[in-house]
Structure 1
Amino acid sequence: MKPNFLIKLVFSILSFVALGMTTIGAQTLNKPTPADNPNLPGNSVWTAACGSASFNEYYVNFTWLPTVAADNEFILELSDANGLFTNATELSRVSDKNTSFDFDFKFALPSNTRGDAYRFRVRSTKPAKTSPQSESFEMYYIDFNTTLKIREMGDTAPTPAMKVELCDGGSTTLEVYNVPNAETYRYNWYRNTSPYTSSGYGSSIEVTEAGYYVVELDYGNTCSGSSNTQSLSIEVQVGSSVGLNINPPIKAALCTGETVAPLEANMNYPDLYYTWYKNGNVIQPSSQGAYTFSIDTNDVSFPGDYSVKVQGNGICTETSDPVSITQDGIFTVSRDNPANMVMLPGNAITLNASSDASPVTYQWYKDNVALSGETESSLVANSVGVYYAEVSLSGGSCATSTKAIETTTVVHPNTFEFKIDYATEYINCFNTSVALEIARIDAVLSDGSKMEVTSDLQSSFNYQWIKNGINVIGATSKTISLINTGENGSYALNATLGSFNSISNDLSLQLLTNESLTITSTIPFICSSGDTAIISTETNLSGETFQWFKDGIILPTATEELTVTEAGTYQLTMEKNGCALMSNQVIVAPFDDSLVTINPAAKEIVFPEGSSKEISANGANSYQWFTENNVLLGDTATITLTMEGTYMLIASVNDCQVMKTFVVSYQDIFGVPNVVTANGDGYNDQWVLPNTYTKDPEINVIIYNQKGEEVLNQFQYQNNWPEANMKFPKQNMVFYYTIKNAKQTLKKGTITVIR
């Protein structure tokens, strides 16, 4: 067990106390934290993970409390790059740590790990519970560490040009072309050594300005430096525009199937290279002499904005303004029923089509064969097959246009499969109530395949909930709510529809009793080794199975009252209907006499003779003030003193007593002397200061000779300078003194020593 586990254990216990929790379920899982790699020299707790084929070994530490099932497994999971666990990745799974409250997971980064906000969490399987998420971490698997190659998009020569001439006001695209799966990486682009982020972080950027451009793979702030992927630079120069445009088309609004003249660039040179775009996407890659483009109006996606880019020796790269091509005679059609429909034998179902145009005609098809006479918007289908309708629009600027709706597959089921689940998050012996519901209905077809029909058919079935093989009276809806431990058991759902009868999967239910178990202690403190506290509960434990815990450890006692002589955190568990009902936690603390305070807090209190000083105490249940002769002065929290001397306070906190002494002195009324007659006659032989400067441990007295050398430097000056054995070579010697505390100089002056 690691030395810091006790600290983590106490922290976990105190966290529950702070939250006021009376039950903690079966366990407490703490969030995982980075840990030292024992296979590396020194302390190697990581702050960012940079994995690769040559190194990919990391550790996280995990702590938990207090018990899990013997066959429990702990699972370490990794979030996605945004810190979300919707599709968590399992990194490690252990089954031999069910008695180790503090251990390390070993894991390797998946090869697709790239991001700055990854998090960890740990799940247990028995009981099912999930830890809090870890802090976020920068994590990258460096699987590509070769120099990147860049070129102007469309330059497919074996050795692309490293200089591009761009027309003024035009644009071109630079791209990385030597990275497999290039779209899965982030890239850092630079122009003249400055970050160039206006086009994002993809493998290509659109540029409009002159400069030198380079790119590197983005492996985060920590990992990028070790990947060495920065490309050579490509120079972009800006020249004069040649006025590239697309010649105005004869017709811009086209009908489906219409034959039209191709689009043509106004620069029609066979030695130049042309790239055609629709809506900004390449539809014809760079090709020499391809200054025309034919639009296929039979392609339903032909409408859009078309443009062309020209490249070649002696001209600057330029892209034309777009030409908009639209579709004439546009209308839409839709299928007004699900894509898959289950039809019970002997029944029929109705299929529907619709359109936003008028007038239209319909023709229905089954298995791609036209159905004679079925020319309405609805079709009654009485056999299995694949159905769709063709919708035709006549008139307007275009000839007849026809569109097909999406297909509907109609099938007969062999049987149905039902799956039920908990309606909300559920943990055995944790929830006090839960609802069960239908999660999914599948029609099982003759070939064994399944078709989900939950939304279509769940209202068509008749239902009966079953507990431990017996029908639950009155439970005939799609859901069942369970609210007390008397309903614990194994549940299933029987569903019937005509001749079909299906029984769902089983779900076990073990609710925790909805009652509280409260313990109290006779005293909150242990004053000394002989003190005892009695911890008990008003709940009748007679005949019950119960256990006492101290600091999360089971105590070997079976008494209904617990007598404790040691400080600790105590808790009681009682078995109720197969579950462990856990009490609140009671903390019996070692007594700390700092709980009782005296104000003023100084051990020596000074006030002028003839006046008085009010002294108060705090933190106890009762107080007694005594003189140094043990004469009782008072028994309240506050007392007023008029005489100097030594005083004592005896304060009681429950059964614990605290004794504190302090000294009261009269404040001196004389000032700081400036003459000392060090002749040994017993009068004025030493430099004596008022109590104000000698009793406070924070006040520093310093004396210097005429050379500026320290001859005394003392806190809580003892009024003992000069000492009897000191020699003074001159009759009248002058010394200098400074009296100060930590914040300021309180007094400065001279001392003349006459011998």
Structure 2
Amino acid sequence: MKNFYITCVIALFALLAPNIIDAQVVISTPSLGFSQACASPSFNTYNVTFSFSPEGNLSSSNQFIIELSDETGAFSNATVVYTSAQGAITTSPATLSISLPTDTAGQSYKVRVKSTAPTATSTGSVAFPAYYKIQDTPFSINNLIDTGVYCSGGSYLLTIDDPGTGDNDSPLQYPSLTFNWYKVTSPTTSVFVSSGNTLSVNQSGTYFAETNYGTCTSNSFSNRVTVSESTTNGTSSISSSLGNPYCASQGSTTLSAINGISYQWYKDGTEIPGATNQMYVTNESGEFSVDIDLGDCATSATIDLNGVGFTSEIDVLELNMIEDNETLVATVTTTANNPEFKWYLNGTLIAGATSNSYEATQTGDYKVVIKQTVGCISTSEFLFKVSTAFPNVSSIPNLISPNGDGINDTWIIPQEYVNGANASVTILSAQGKVMLQTDNYLNNWPEEQLAFKAINPVYYYVITTQDNKTKKGSITIIK
């Protein structure tokens, strides 16, 4: 009886053994439809093709799984990047599409294919570089300041700007990213210097950073910063967060200086009390400067801040001389968006004068107002004066009558002492107060009405010519 049961088991095994052996599949090494994978939010699809055999041994519940190795090609901590539905793939070869995880970054990734019923695993594919470009736009370093200064024997630290708020797409927002720093060697070439979030520079040159996306092309690169050594007082530059010119109606702009130990800011040459930080916030136009203590040396920086959002120029002088029957054409060039022009003579709007140029046929005080009508709504203006040519007088007068009758209203002196002669003209009151001092006298004193505290006040003049000859005398004012 015992032998009977043994015989039956052996016979049953003999019947089932072929099926057990046949219920296996072999999966080929995957082939790739790409040589490198440079993924981004706008593109992340890569094809993987593999074969398996025999097709008939797949269970109806079988699923194919594609795994992605780590950046070294190891599968010990593989990531599943594709799983098919049960029984969905029954014919060989098969081509499947995978997507990369957002933290993918390396040069030697591989993929492999696995089946679940029956279980089988392919060998790994050829290695390939793969990067997910989670940040692919230009970014700023050094607060967008294009210069840096270090003291002799010291260094200057370049840093990637923090994410901040608003439109600042700093790559520091993405912890998985790494960065490479380069030094410019020519207008089109550069050399690798170091990796990291910062770069300590102790050699003069121009530097920039790129996000490390390996062999993948990318737009994730920084502005360029020129760093130089300063053994004495050197100069650097200032950046404006809203640019320059900027639109004052958009709010305040932040002025930033390079890294230093201490700071002092100035506006139009006057110290700003309490402005001793690396950054200064303002909504005013003007010339801003800053003194920066670097420790063993110092530097300074200046920016001429324009708060109208555009720039303009006019091609005439502040004072223009014309002969009788002559005219003067003044032309404005501007970067204003859809500009409007208004011209004035002696404070009165000139009807019909709405183009960027005007032909002045009369003497007087002119003004042109330029208005930007799209975007930053703002205005800018130029003032200029048109006069007849200086009279060719031969002597220095000692009597004027500024009463507005057009005769002797201003102190007219010989042409050898006026505009362009490089002569110094000083006018003093009887009490010794300097009323005018100029090297470019325009025969226009007094420009404003004088207060008559005496019946006929007396002023004194000193004229020093270019060859240091001096003429002195008095000027009596009569009504």
Q: Name the TM-score, length of structure 1 as normaliser.
A: 0.26
Bigger relative contact order (CA 8 A; separation at least 6): 2
Larger radius of gyration: 1
